Structure 1
Amino acid sequence: MLNEFWATSSTAYKTLVFSAMGLIAVGLILSIAGNTTGNQGLAIASLPVIGVGLLLHVTGLVVRGQKIRKSYKK
């Protein structure tokens, strides 16, 4: 089921997943860079980037859940 879902999932869902992963990764890199260099502003600025990535991740879960729910009704 999981492999089939990814193969048949919509472009919108794939875009949500990759955008979420990308934003979370960028946020983590900014956070690590800010904390290792002592740049407090960079470390704080990374938090909204991680937050947006997490929101996109949750949105992707909702989209996936709705599609699975619709497939069960058929």
Structure 2
Amino acid sequence: MEAVGDGGMTRLYLIRHAEAEGNLYRVAHGHCNGLITNYRGYQQIDALRERFRKVDIDAVYSSDLYRTQITARAIW
């Protein structure tokens, strides 16, 4: 992604998924599909969407897990 005014530099954003059930109960869910928590998780997704609203994004990469896909869609 090229940002205007920064000399054509590529910016890479690394973002962790929003709070999921495993995080809430302090369980390491690894590659298991956990749902985003109803309140805090979706608040985090809304904040992420707002943070990236005016950022030009060329590509978004995510694992195939539900929690990462839902989080990534907030940016894309």
TM over 0.5: no
TM-score (norm 1): 0.33
TM-score (norm 2): 0.33
Q: Choose 1 or 2 for highest CA Rg.
A: 1
